Amino acid sequence: MVRNGLMIWILLIMSGACYTQDRITVDVNGWINYRLATGALQFDPGPNGAGLAVGMAYPVKGSISGKSSVEFGAAGTGNFMAFTVGLQNESRSPRNRLVGRTGAGVLQGIMLYRPAPLYVWGLDMTSMIGYELKNRSVPGMFAGIRYYGIPGYAKISEVNRFLDLRIGMIYLF
């Protein structure tokens, strides 16, 4: 069962070259974070907040699309607001209506602090799989990893960089 699922996923990603994204899509997604490591990748597991985002994907070339999103959540040392930009490969299997996306992005944002916010940066990789409905919208799930840091927090604590596993739900319009 798991092996078949993985095979479908891999086939979808590999078949991306045959598919051309032809329209802009908008998505909403929500996720929970599970911390894998902190600092210079010391193993430090534990729940680590959650987030919500509104995103957009736009055709670039062939199956490659650009993506951007605005997000709000709690992670690492506090609450944050950020935007991400990146690229992704989209694959579709019209026969069984499956949609897959795998991409990478860069995060820039602020940790919401008083008296002044702190800058946060991050890198992430995400894969999603969804099922295309008749109205072309796609509910799905995604998983990914994100490494992020809050340089200004270094004067407060050595724990200012995090590696999180993100698991969530997504809805493409």
Partner 1 sequence: MMIVLSCSYLPDEEGTLYEPKTETGDYAIYYSGSIQPENAFIMIPGGLVDPYAYACWIRDLVREDSSFAVVLMKYPSNLAIANIGKVKKIMDELAGFTHWAVGGHSLGGVVAATTLDDNRELFDGLVLMASWSREAADLSDWEGTVLSIYASEDSLATEEEVQENSNFLPAGVQIDSPNIIPDGDRRTYYYRIAGGNHSGFGCYGLQDGDGTPWITSEAQQELMITVMKSYFESLW
- Least distance between partner 1 and beta carbon 95 (Å): 42
Closer residue to partner 1, CB minimum distance, 46 or 94: 46
> Which residues contribute to the site for partner 1 (CB under 8 A)?
33, 35, 38, 44, 46-49, 72, 74-79, 81, 112-118, 155-159, 162
Closer residue to partner 1, CB minimum distance, 106 or 154: 154
| 95 SS3 class | coil
Closer residue to partner 1, CB minimum distance, 62 or 117: 117
What is d(CA 150, CA 163) in angstroms, rounded to the nearest whole number? 12
Closer residue to partner 1, CB minimum distance, 94 or 115: 115
What is d(CA 108, CA 151) in angstroms, rounded to the nearest whole number? 12
Kindly state the DSSP code that residue 133 receives in the 8-state scheme.
Answer: -
- Least distance between partner 1 and beta carbon 72 (Å): 7
> Are 159 and 40 spatial neighbours (Cβ–Cβ below 8 Å)?
no
CA atoms within 13 A on the CB side of 87: 6
- Least distance between partner 1 and beta carbon 61 (Å): 36
